[in-house]
Structure 1
């Protein structure tokens, strides 16, 4: 009578993060349509701010050097890429066993759509204390201008 029914695997995740593992399995990963909707664990983390004169992007890359990062802009898309090496040197096969590794290592790339009207030819990037600040000035014709009111 019930021969057509298939058995479902209902095993619970083990360990201290079982609820997070269960929730991650229930909800699909978010896309990158909004700055707050990137998948958990994305590297590097990015903050974006805007003033009347420019857009500033802060790339948080602790443990990296300026030489390990590459920043480029093409078609109003800012891309930050590079490689992060392991913080712990491998001493050879069989000499170290990792029980948990949370720090990301390897190649990475993050892309961010930029607003229209930026002068990417005058873009600058500065790196200090693990934070890369990218300054993207607005074109002069798009900056707000104050218009004097003349009394008649």
Structure 2
């Protein structure tokens, strides 16, 4: 006796996709720290005693289209990622799955008070934007000798 299944073969991946979409709808928060998980570009933010390092993972973005602004300790990263789906003149084109982000984006990161706004550098290489913000000299740790 053969049994037929009522579900597609890859039911677990569909359930995983549905769970991700539901989670993203609850994670998005319009706060000063930007969107929640699932925002584009993905960010890693860390620090050393000398600087704050921000890595934005943005493959497929033209570095000339990226705009960085630092205003009162708030760093904003914005730009646009073009769609990789070719547009045709006839209206018969359809997209079945679209998991890669395309369009305008903006991420905001609030920084600590000890940054030096004149010590910001940024470079883009292999799809990763690296922004380094130096800390003020007065905020650097230093050893004080006792006499």
Superposed pair shares fold, TM > 0.5: yes
CA contact (8 A) 1:65 1:130 kept: no
Structure 1 unmatched ranges of 5 or more? 1-14
Q: Displacement of 1:40 after TM fit?
A: 3.9
Secondary structure in structure 1 of the residue aligned to 2:115: coil
Equivalent residues in 2 for 1:23-38, closer than 5 Å: 24=22, 28-31=26-29, 38=35
The alignment's C-alpha RMSD in Å is 2.6
The residue number in structure 2 matching 1:120 is: 117
Secondary structure at the aligned position of 1:52 is classed as coil
Within 2, Cα distance between the matches of 1:82 and 1:30?
19
TM-score, structure 2 as length reference: 0.78
Q: Is the 8 A contact 2:32 2:110 kept in 1?
A: no
Q: Deviations over 1:36-59 (max 9, x none)?
A: x94343100110111010101111
Aligned-partner Cα distance in 1 for 2:97–2:107: 25
Indicate the residue corresponding to 1:17 in structure 2.
14
Write the deviation string for residues 18-45 of structure 1: whole angstroms up to 9, x where unpaired.
46536827x833537697x943431001
Question: Normalized against structure 1, the TM-score is what?
Answer: 0.76
| Unmatched segments (≥5 aa) in structure 2 | 1-10
Which of 47, 52, 72 is matched with 1:50 structurally?
Answer: 47
Change in CA separation of 1:31 and 1:104 when aligned onto 2, cut-off 3 Å: same
Aligned pair partner of 1:109 in 106, 109, 126 = 106
More strand by share: 2
